Structure formats: C-alpha cells, structure tokens
Structure 1
Amino acid sequence: MTSGRQLLTRFSRPVPRYTSYPTAPHFHGGISAGDVAGWMRGLEAGQSLSLYVHIPYCDRLCWFCACHTKHTLRYAPIASYLESLKREIETVGALVSPDVRVTALHWGGGSPTMLKPADMRALMGWLRTAFHFAEDAEISVEMDPNDLDDARYDALADIGVTRASLGVQDFDEKVQKTINRLQSFEQTAAVISAMRARGVRSVNCDLLYGLPYQSLETLTHTVEQIISLRPDRIALFGYAHVPWMKKHQTLIPEEALPDADARFEQMTLAGELLANAGYDPIGIDHFALPGDSLARAARSGRLRRNFQGYTDESADALIGLGASSISDVPQGYWQNMPAIGEYRRLAEAGDLPVVRGIALDDEDRMRGFVIEKVMCAYGFSTSELRARFGAAAGPVIEEARAYARQNPDVCSFDAFGFRLQKDAFPFARSVAAHFDTYLEGGRGRHSAAV
C-alpha cells in the first residue's frame, strides 16, 4: 500500500479547492444582471435560501490573507458601504419570492465585527425586512477578537447569532508577527466565553499550517491550546501562498515557509492531535465534535461544499451580498463587482452589481456532483449517479473505472462505485481534479493541494 507521504510527490500539482464547479477562474463576463435577476425570480415557493453578507474592511491587514478586503482605520468608508449594501439587499429582496425561506446567514469579510453595534442591528433588520427567515435559521459571524467589546457582544446576541467563527491561525508570537496577526490565546478564550455566556450554541476556530517559521512544536502548542477551549468545529487549512493574486503576501519571507514535506508533517500531526482529542475528521480540512451538526451530516452522507467550505446546510440556493461575494443557484454562479467604488455605484443605482458568472449545463451539474462527492464522501455511488443523470452518467463512470484501474493505491471501483483509499483522503482535491474538464485549459493558478 502506498503511504500518504509517497502520494505527496504524485499529487504535488496545485489544484482548485473545489468550492464550486466550474471553479471561479472560469466565470466570465457573459452573464448579465438580467440573467441573474431571472435566476433569482426562478426560486420557487418552498425552496430554501442561504445568504452570505460580505464586509470588505479590516482595521489591520493580515499578510497571509487571501480574502477580498481593504485596510481602514476610519469608520466613514464602512458607513458609506453599508448604505450601498442596504440598497442591494432591497433590490435582491424584491426579486426573491417571499415564500422562499432563509435557513442560514453568514457574515464574512474582512471583519464584520468592525461594525458598530447599532449598525449590526440595522443590517440584520434590513435583511429580515427583505427576506423571509425561518425561525430556526442558523446565523454565523466571523469575529476578530481585537474588535470586540461588551456592546458588540450584546449586539451579536441581539441579532440572533448561533455560531461564532474565529480565525486563530497560530498562537506562536514569532509566527504572528511575521503574518501581522497578533492575537493572544487569552483574547480568543475571552471571546468564546463571552459568546457562550450569551447563548451561542456553536463555536468554530480556524487554524493554519504551512505558515512562516511554523514548526511541529509551535503547531502542537497551538492545537493543544485550541483543544482546551473545546470549540465545536475546527477548520485546519493549509496556508495558500498566492502572491501573484494578493500582493501583500510578498511581505511574508518565502524562505521561512515550510516545504511540501514539512507541510504534510504539520497537517498530519495536527489531524492526529485533534482526532485523539475526540474530534471527527470531516472532508480534507475540517474537524468536529461527534455531536456537532457537521459531524452528523458527514456520518449520514449529507455533507455539502460551497464557497464557505464544508457545510451541513441543505439550502437550494446561496445568494451573496456585498462587494466580491459569490452566489450559487440551480441555474449557475455569479460574482459581484470586487471594486468597492464600482460596487457602490451599481448598488445605489438599483442595479445588480454582477461582474461575471457562468450558466450550468447538465454536464457541469453531473461533474459538479461527482467532485462534491469526492470532496465530501471520498467517492460516489454509480447507482445514485445514474439515478440523477441517466445515460449521461456512463462516460463519467467509465472515467472513474479507468482511473481506479490505473491507480489502485489511490482508489477502487466496485459494485458500490468509486472510493478513495484511506491514505488518499488528504489528496481528495487532486483526485477530484481528474473529473474537471475545465482544468487543463483554464487560466487559473491555484494553491498547493496539501
């Protein structure tokens, strides 16, 4: 049996993270605001909707970050942006049937907790006015401990937050200084305590491996500290060094970054520490306590993947609001204008601020289903594929059979269908890429698969 370390060399090619299929580099300008409006009007009564709201501002710029965000120490740009966001919410809300229920809402950024308490409440009010929220809707917010105070904690409780999501990255001081992300263990613990005291049911923490000056020792210390806080979910991401996309990453000394072997060691060690502490591994980079809804979804085969990563959400569509946000509906994908000035101009005019997207055909949907299953369940059932897509599934099934025959140490093909071998689980992205017909001719550059 080939070991994971041996597979590392074979799967060294950078590939997409597959939070969509086709992936974002294949979106194009041929999708218009009119197309998108029609897609939103096509959501039917009884369908469910997930909302994502993007706040593209931070009061410090973390050098490792690959998000669409801007650094500001002034609140005026944020206040102006919120007025434009309000207008977009009204425009989109008028297109979506009131009989479509919002079952999940996520505020991301940037740093949503930079918002003043009154603005947090106002934003939630705009959303509830424009959309029909289910009584049990999940509401999650990304939180920066450096922004938070009692007034903001109370505002977050007032808007009904059910999940607090904290970026931690690493607690080692040298690593933190090198990535310009100073955040102590004590600050992090205080946020978790404050949110739990206000009734938040679930806490998620994001960790990174592959950071500059990170070692097995520093990573072990960070993971052990996080385990002591007992978050319900932990995301363990490999740092994506993409300075051709994010120029501020050039501030990180490349000579201080671990090589591929060291990254694999870090990933493996952190995963073992979390598993030994009682966390279930979920997909390629998540861990959850057995009672968490993400772990239950993984066990029951309901795990999904969207632009926010792994999720237990079962919504029929996801609509992104704010600059650069991406939406996913049955007909296709679209992205909002990333440039904040142009986004504001379009939104305030009552136009949908669409910049690019892609319409899906049946082949896209079928391959997207296969890729999502490989990413979430490490394989797919041929009977389920045929039931969904009929005779069109035949060529993809033959591709899977041939790939398994050529790579028996990676995967197998049997009466069930296509399955990855356990040692190949960390390389699910690379296996999924085999079914991506856009990849070879694509323009996108991608991060390391592990």
Structure 2
Amino acid sequence: MRDYKAFVKYSKAGPRYTSYPTAVEFNKDFKYEEYVEILKKQNKALSLYFHLPFCRSACYFCGCNVIYTAKEESKERYLNYLFKELDILSTILDTKREVVQMHFGGGTPTFFSAKQLESLILKIKSVFANFSKDAEISCEIDPRFLNEEQADVLTKNGFNRISFGVQDFNEKVQKEIHRIQPFGVTQNAVNMVRDRGIKSVNMDLIYGLPFQTLETFKQTLEQALLINPDRLAIFNYAHVPWLKKNMRKFDENTLPSPDIKLQILEYCETFLTKNGYKMIGMDHFAKEEDELFKALENGTLHRNFQGYTTKGGADLIGVGLTSIGEGQNHYAQNFKDMPSYEAAIDKGILPFERGIKLSYDDELRKTVIMELMANFRLDIKRIEKEFKIDFKEYFEEELKSLEDYKSFIDLDENYIRVNETGALLIRNIAMCFDAYMKNISEDKKVFSKTV
C-alpha cells in the first residue's frame, strides 16, 4: 500500500470531464437558432439520452437533477411533455439516422410504471425507427424500484444493459445517506434481469461517503462480487453542499480523508484485478470479455455524459428536463426548471436553455483531455496531424504544468502515457490542458475535490 499522505496536496477542486468545456462554461450566447441549424445539418449516427427525473425520496449523497414526488399525475404530465418534445425534434432532426445508443437516466427511471415505460419506448421507436442491430440500450435502475412487469417491458423492447445503483452495502452508511437497500433486494433485482437474458449488468458504488473505511468498503466489494456484475462504476463522492442541500445533512467529520479514499481506490483496483476485472478510465472496471476492456486495449474508448462508452463519434441528443446534448462542436442543455421546460414546448420549440459552440481551441483541448481521461495516453503525433499544430509549441505552458506530475507520466516525442499511480490523479493531469480553469479562482466553489 502506498503512502497516500503525500497525495493530499493534489486534492483540489476540479472537473470530472464528462464534457469539455464543462457545463460551468455553458451560456446563453449560443442561441436557439444556431442550435437548430446545427441539428438540421447533422448526419452522424445518433445517441439518445432521456432524463426521467422523479424519485420518491432523497438520497443525501445524490448530485443529480431530481424531483421528489409521489404523485402519479406528475409522471403522466411529464411523459406527455416528453412526447411533445420528441414531436418537435422530429421536425428538425433527420430521425431516419441510425441510433447506436439509448439511455434512460434519472432520477429513478423505474419509478415510472411498466405501462408508462412501455408507452415512452413505443413513442421513441415511432420517431426513431432505425435502431442498429447492436445498439446499446441501457437503463439506470434503483433495485428498490423494480418489479417483474418493468423487467419484462425493458427486455422485451431491446434493453441490453442495466446499471444498478448500490453505493454501499454497509448498513450504517446506508442509514446515513438515507438509502436503506438490503443486499437481498439488490441480488433479487439483478437476478430478475439476468433471468430475462440481460448479459451486461453494471453496479454503481461510491467511495468517500460518511462512515466509510477501507475495511467496510472491502466488505462491500466482496458482497458486490457475489452478484457477479459485468462492470462496476466506483465513483469518488462529489461533496458539493453549496449546490445540493441534501449534502448539508452530513457531518463532514464523518467523511473519509483524501488518503483513505485513495487507499480505497487502490484496493479496488488490486482486488478487482485479482478477480478478473480491468480498470477502465478513472472510475470503471470491466471483465476482460467486456467491450469496454477491448476498446481500452485498442485505444477507441470514449467518454461522455453517460461515462465511458464504445459509441464515440455519435451525435448525442438529450431529451427531457436538464438533459444535455453533444455534437462535434457544440453542447446544448435543456431547461432545469419544469415551468420553463413546459413553456418552451407549449410554444412549439425545443426546451433549449443554454450551451456552447466550440472554438478550434476548444475542440483541440477536448480531444486531448478526453483521450487522456479515456485511455490514459495521448498520441501526440495524431493530434499534431489532425489539428495541424506543433504540440510542444502550442502547449508550452501546459507541458510546464505537467512537471508537477512528472512521476506519474511518461512523456516523449510521440506519447503522453499515464502510469498506474497517475491513473488515480487523472483529473489533475487533464486539468493541465484546461484553458478555462485559469479563470476560476481557488476560493470559488464550482467543482468537487479531485481526491
């Protein structure tokens, strides 16, 4: 076990780089008319994201955009607006393009009934009829909200990847984060989809939660492997109480220190490697037969708002409240509040609120940062050829910043390679190439800590 006390100095506020530029830079200078024109001209394959934002109650660790409700009419009303948004999209997009990926995120997608889920799926397929034979169709599921009818609807309609939110199996941690979820509940939910032919099951865990220790997390990992997921996403808890009021319920003295969190992450890598998994990017682990592992091996792994994916290069269309879309040179986000979202749709326009059109420099830096985040290496010569630059000259200052991490990388004329220890600090390393971080002062609370 490494001495992680020395790593504490690297614990600074920084992005997770699900996008570059990050959502902090999205603004209203990118106009609706520009966005619509971009959508009209797109011709790549499609990736579709649907945000289903409702939950019955709050999980105190959650950083998602969520609406808490028990009202059935709220869900029905929201579905009605999703259908209208799809109808508007169908008048702008070429919906005959091939769909290679679709994802239901939340909130809790399975807080919607089987009947409601099926009505949404049928509506989507009536608009986007050209799903590829090997399309990745996935859904996030809270194991506490899954029944046989919902599992039937998902599998019958082509869903082939399921991601289960677990976070931690320790009862004390579960009580503190307001998410009581016995092991048997999770096991039964996984069995439910396995029995219906789902071959790819992901489990989400979080380290850095109140009362977690290395020993308690070891037990959680051992229990997780009893369920035998194909992938694990093990996230560093993002403590941002200035943004999420639920997080203020935590006594910060109960949160594990940065060095303990790094010990947990290192143990995850060691333990899971011994048990047939490979670390993918900064927070994912996959079995060697998984396509994520194969993409990492051949350097084709990509990162977007859904995490790590093999479906890079597709145009991402975000549908629903707060959803974010992405193209080669833009990001676009829908309204975050329901009245504004509904008002736009009632006017017959997309519920677009803000975004950003990428400059040449943005596109270059996005390519550099995302390749480092996804593959832990950067092909310098490929970047020079693609963007017609001299890498050392263009990134002179950035390469000086990398000196702080010289023990974590190998740098030569052709490649930047991040070593095994450096993988634990990949956010810090990527930040060296982020032009916008220079404009964010240390005392401005924007991002969670990298360690």
Q: Please tell me the TM-score bracket, short chain as reference.
A: over 0.9
Q: 1:90 to 1:255 in 2, by over 3 A?
A: same
- State the Cα distance separating 1:112 from its structure 2 match: 0.4
2:325 and 2:445 mapped to 1: Cα distance? 19
- State the Cα distance separating 1:331 from its structure 2 match: 2.7
Helix, strand or coil at the partner of 2:406: coil
Tell me which moved more, 32-41 or 297-306: 32-41
1:284 and 1:125 mapped to 2: Cα distance? 36
1:63 to 57, 60, 64: 60
Is contact 2:262-2:424 (8 Å) kept?
A: no
Partner of residue 27, structure 1 = 26
Is contact 2:402-2:432 (8 Å) kept?
A: no
The answer as to 2:422 corresponding to 1:424 is yes
Is contact 1:164-1:200 (8 Å) kept?
A: yes
Tell me which moved more, 374-383 or 392-401: 392-401
Is contact 1:401-1:418 (8 Å) kept?
A: no
2:274 and 2:354 mapped to 1: Cα distance? 44
- State the Cα distance separating 1:394 from its structure 2 match: 5.0
CA deviation vs aligned residue, 1:188-228 (integer Å, no higher than 9, x gap): 11111110111112000000111101122211111011112
User: AA paired with 2:25?
Assistant: H
Please list every run of 5 or more consecutive structure 2 residues that lacks an aligned counterpart in the other structure: none
Q: 1:363 to 1:216 in 2, by over 3 A?
A: same
The answer as to 2:444 corresponding to 1:446 is no
Q: 1:99 to 1:406 in 2, by over 3 A?
A: same
Helix, strand or coil at the partner of 2:342: helix
1:261-272 equivalences in 2 (<5 Å): 261-272=259-270
- State the Cα distance separating 1:416 from its structure 2 match: 2.1
2:49 to 26, 47, 52: 52
- State the Cα distance separating 1:398 from its structure 2 match: 3.5
The answer as to 2:43 corresponding to 1:41 is no
What is the RMSD computed on CA atoms of the aligned residues? 1.7
Partner of residue 356, structure 2 = 358
TM-score, normalised via structure 1 length: 0.95
- State the Cα distance separating 1:264 from its structure 2 match: 1.4
CA deviation vs aligned residue, 1:357-402 (integer Å, no higher than 9, x gap): 0000111010111101111122211110011100264534544544
Is contact 1:382-1:397 (8 Å) kept?
A: no
- State the Cα distance separating 1:5 from its structure 2 match: 2.2
Partner of residue 182, structure 2 = 184
1:85-104 equivalences in 2 (<5 Å): 85-104=82-101
1:126-145 equivalences in 2 (<5 Å): 126-131=123-128, 132-145=130-143
Partner of residue 297, structure 1 = 295
1:334-345 equivalences in 2 (<5 Å): 334-345=332-343
CA deviation vs aligned residue, 1:96-129 (integer Å, no higher than 9, x gap): 1134211000000000001111111111111111
> Taking every aligned residue pair, what percent have the same amino acid on both sides?
35
Is contact 1:4-1:424 (8 Å) kept?
A: no
1:107 to 96, 100, 104: 104
2:221 to 208, 220, 223: 223
Is contact 1:22-1:368 (8 Å) kept?
A: yes
Is contact 2:137-2:158 (8 Å) kept?
A: yes
User: AA paired with 1:25?
Assistant: V
User: AA paired with 1:78?
Assistant: K
Is contact 1:58-1:110 (8 Å) kept?
A: yes
1:76 to 59, 73, 77: 73
CA deviation vs aligned residue, 1:272-298 (integer Å, no higher than 9, x gap): 221111100111111000001111111
Helix, strand or coil at the partner of 2:439: coil
User: AA paired with 1:378?
Assistant: F
Helix, strand or coil at the partner of 1:31: coil
TM-score, normalised via structure 2 length: 0.95
User: AA paired with 1:112?
Assistant: P
Partner of residue 5, structure 1 = 4
User: AA paired with 1:309?
Assistant: G
Q: 1:362 to 1:4 in 2, by over 3 A?
A: farther
Partner of residue 277, structure 1 = 275
Is contact 1:366-1:393 (8 Å) kept?
A: no
- State the Cα distance separating 1:411 from its structure 2 match: 2.1
1:308-387 equivalences in 2 (<5 Å): 308-387=306-385
1:428 and 1:273 mapped to 2: Cα distance? 20
- State the Cα distance separating 1:404 from its structure 2 match: 4.8
Is contact 2:144-2:186 (8 Å) kept?
A: no
The answer as to 2:17 corresponding to 1:18 is yes
- State the Cα distance separating 1:262 from its structure 2 match: 1.6
Is contact 2:8-2:259 (8 Å) kept?
A: no
Q: 1:149 to 1:404 in 2, by over 3 A?
A: closer
Q: 1:315 to 1:381 in 2, by over 3 A?
A: closer
Q: 1:315 to 1:197 in 2, by over 3 A?
A: farther
1:205 and 1:271 mapped to 2: Cα distance? 15
User: AA paired with 2:98?
Assistant: R
Tell me which moved more, 163-172 or 89-98: 89-98
Is contact 2:143-2:186 (8 Å) kept?
A: yes
- State the Cα distance separating 1:271 from its structure 2 match: 2.3
Please list every run of 5 or more consecutive structure 1 residues that lacks an aligned counterpart in the other structure: none
Partner of residue 434, structure 1 = 432
Helix, strand or coil at the partner of 1:291: coil
2:9 and 2:385 mapped to 1: Cα distance? 33
Q: 1:213 to 1:6 in 2, by over 3 A?
A: closer
User: AA paired with 2:24?
Assistant: P
2:384 and 2:377 mapped to 1: Cα distance? 15
Helix, strand or coil at the partner of 2:117: helix
User: AA paired with 1:448?
Assistant: K
2:6 and 2:49 mapped to 1: Cα distance? 36
